[in-house]
Chain A
């Protein structure tokens, strides 16, 4: 189960995100809130590790990690694919 809480916990590890994680809406653009290129890669790595998925190159773009909702949907789709 991919819950927002786990995604928020992962985001909390990022310096720019950590102070604002609890106030982030599902559809807030994380890059506009200060997520940078280094942070987004660290976020991808943490998600891959936590949910045991691998993001294919086609999903490694800004949009796939732009909001909590999109992250949840992307990871859910990938973990269902992995289970099937």
Chain B
């Protein structure tokens, strides 16, 4: 990653860290960090250069996710979710003038994009919708009982899944981009959670009328989900979790080093536990990085992106990284002890621990494992060490 990008990400992380406790305590949107993301122009990173962005790849976005994850999990997750949506626009919207225009607006005006896939009656099953696009001429209307839209109240654009038309089966979906002034959002549920309190993943009744049909992405959502969303979600979430885990290990390291300085000539007993945590962190990093590399290699090969082997490896990255992140933060807490358990010391780990516990639950690992289980019924295997 370029030094410039590292510096910009670190400046945002400083702002995010300053407000992380109040975002968590009050369960409020990380407005200061998102304002800093806009100031540093990080919301348009992925937009192609011809539309005013920087044409950044997923690995660069992932690095920023990690940097932010070390400071404020909620800010990092908002940034990740925004870029997961932007990845879909960049991958599947280039053939549509309207969506190219939207990308230019995202870059120029630093618009924040949210996602509405979850729906009452369907739950978290991304690949089914009840609500439908109802077209009349060149315009359509859409109403959705969106039981979760993370930072829906703060977003400038929401990408919404819906059935192609009222007669279509629940799996025949499209993805539509709705601008803030084209829809009404009525809050139907609040977000009072153990951790990740700042993502404000509230429920809404979403209503949009008189929206031009050109705002419907030209590709079927099935293809968008398989070719850009699966990879970008699992890889960017995992990068956020890696950031949280590495922050916790840094706290533990600093604690152990303090002990060592107080008793020169001895290795503190907790150093062994630190060695275990550092080893786990390295394994987690290798998991995430190998996924990013594989994605970069497959990015322009639709057959590889839609292959069973690729889906299995991404599913594995999500389940592995999410479980490891929780384990690593818990190990760090064990090393730091009561200073980590308290909320008022430089070693406090309560907030990162509560935040990271969302990792195995956001798209429950069991759901992902059952999907993998199905795919393994036909995969043949025989992989090599240095290739897929």
Contacts and interface: CB of A to CB of B under 8 A. Distances in A.
Given A61-B304, A62-B226, A16 B171 contact: yes
B381 interface: yes
A7 interface: no
Interface centre among A38, A48, A54 (most CB of B within 10 A): A38
Contacts of B308: 41, 57, 60-61
Contacts of A62: 223, 226, 302-303, 306-307
A56 B309 CA distance: 11
A32 B220 contact: yes
Contact of B374 (A32, A37, A57, A61): A37
A31 B222 CA distance: 8
| Interface size range of chain B in the complex | 20 to 34
Contact of A60 (B171, B223, B309, B374): B309
A54 B378 CA distance: 9
Contacts of B263: none
Contacts of B169: 16, 34
Interface string A22-59: 00000000011110111001001100100000111100
Interface residues of A, number: 20
A38 B372 CA distance: 10
Contacts of A60: 307-309, 378-380
Contacts of B304: 61
Contacts of B377: 41, 45
Nearest to A32: B220
A34 B303 contact: no
B127 interface: yes
Nearest to B169: A34
Contact of A37 (B223, B303, B371, B379): B371
B172 interface: yes
B56 interface: no
Contacts of B220: 31-32
Nearest to B309: A57
B306 A38 contact: no
A77 interface: no
Contacts of B309: 57, 60
A21 to B, nearest CB: 14
Contacts of B272: none
Contacts of A44: 378
B306 A63 contact: yes
A34 to B, nearest CB: 5
Given A32-B172, A61-B306, 7 more contacts: A31-B222, A31-B223, A37-B374, A37-B375, A38-B371, A45-B377, A57-B309
6 contacts: A16-B171, A36-B171, A38-B374, A57-B380, A60-B379, A62-B306
Interface of A: 16, 31-34, 36-38, 41, 44-45, 48, 54-57, 60-63
Interface of B: 127, 169, 171-172, 220, 222-223, 226, 302-304, 306-309, 311, 371, 374-375, 377-382
